[in-house]
Amino acid sequence: MRLGQRMAAAIGIAAVVTAMGMSTLGTLRAQAQTPPALAACPADLKIAVTPPTAAAPTTVSATLTPTLNLKAAALGDVASFHVHYYVDIDPTKVLKAGTPIPAGDPKIIHGAALTQDVGALTPGSHTVWVVVGQVSHQACGGTDGNIIVGSTTFTVAAAAATAAAPAPGKTGTAGLQAATTGMVLPLTVLGLALLGVAAARRATQQ
């Protein structure tokens, strides 16, 4: 093969390799720029919420069916979900499926735990709703566009009443008068008996 032909072949091969490399690089760039898909919310998701107990009067528990991969959103796992506890705020009135759940509201608690202390509550009736969200905080919902939610309503008792005041101390004779009166008769009888014995002795001596 002549030198010119060899150079042409080499240039052609280099061009092909370069084109393949550019194509691969473009694909890699496209993949890097495309965010990974979020885990899809189960269409048959069900949420049950258990009210507090006397031992933990402000702690609720949630049960998810089916079981989900729950992690804190801060970990950034796109295959995970986390839960949101709405305290006395009905999320069905402010959220739709796919709507981002706001952060920074103390009445909306974000977390990965299925048991949650919702904080101090005033005495009276309270409702806690639980909403599941994707790592992006988007609320899971059904095909009808409504969020999937569970809730529980419970009553927080008033603070325990102050301890009963001690019984007032006895006044006056504190029962001693009755006791003294009860002792008068036996003493009187005993005195009369002694007088009788003394009188009998005098009569004998005379």
pLDDT digits 0-9 by tens, 9-22: 555 555 544 545 45
State whether 96 and 10 are in the same domain: no
Q: What integer pLDDT is reported at residue 118 of this predicted model?
A: 97
Domain count, the chain: 2
Q: What integer pLDDT is reported at residue 172 of this predicted model?
A: 42
State whether 20 and 70 are in the same domain: no
State whether 22 and 54 are in the same domain: no
State whether 151 and 125 are in the same domain: yes
The CATH number of residue 95's host domain is: 2.60.40
Assess contact for 80 and 135: CB atoms under 8 A: yes
User: Is 28 part of a structural domain of the chain?
Assistant: yes
Mean pLDDT, residues 165-178 taken together: 42
Q: What integer pLDDT is reported at residue 161 of this predicted model?
A: 30
pLDDT at residue 173 is higher than 90: no
Q: Tell me the per-residue pLDDT of 67-123, one tens digit each, with 9 for 90 and over.
A: 999 999 999 999 999 999 999 999 999 999 999 999 999 999 999 999 999 999 999
User: Is 147 part of a structural domain of the chain?
Assistant: yes
State the Cα–Cα distance between residues 83 and 97, nearest whole angstrom: 14
State whether 104 and 66 are in the same domain: yes
Nearest to 150 by CA among 117, 122, 114, 177: 114
24 versus 165: the higher-pLDDT residue is 24
Assess contact for 33 and 132: CB atoms under 8 A: no
State whether 81 and 6 are in the same domain: no
Q: Tell me the per-residue pLDDT of 117-147, one tens digit each, with 9 for 90 and over.
A: 999 999 999 999 999 999 999 999 988 999 9
User: Is 6 part of a structural domain of the chain?
Assistant: yes
State whether 21 and 70 are in the same domain: no
State whether 79 and 13 are in the same domain: no
pLDDT at residue 65 is higher than 70: yes
pLDDT at residue 66 is higher than 90: yes
Quote the domain boundaries for residue 133: 46-156
118 versus 27: the higher-pLDDT residue is 118
Q: What integer pLDDT is reported at residue 158 of this predicted model?
A: 87
User: Is 177 part of a structural domain of the chain?
Assistant: no
Cis upstream peptide for 66 (omega within 30°): yes
User: Is 7 part of a structural domain of the chain?
Assistant: yes
pLDDT at residue 166 is higher than 60: no
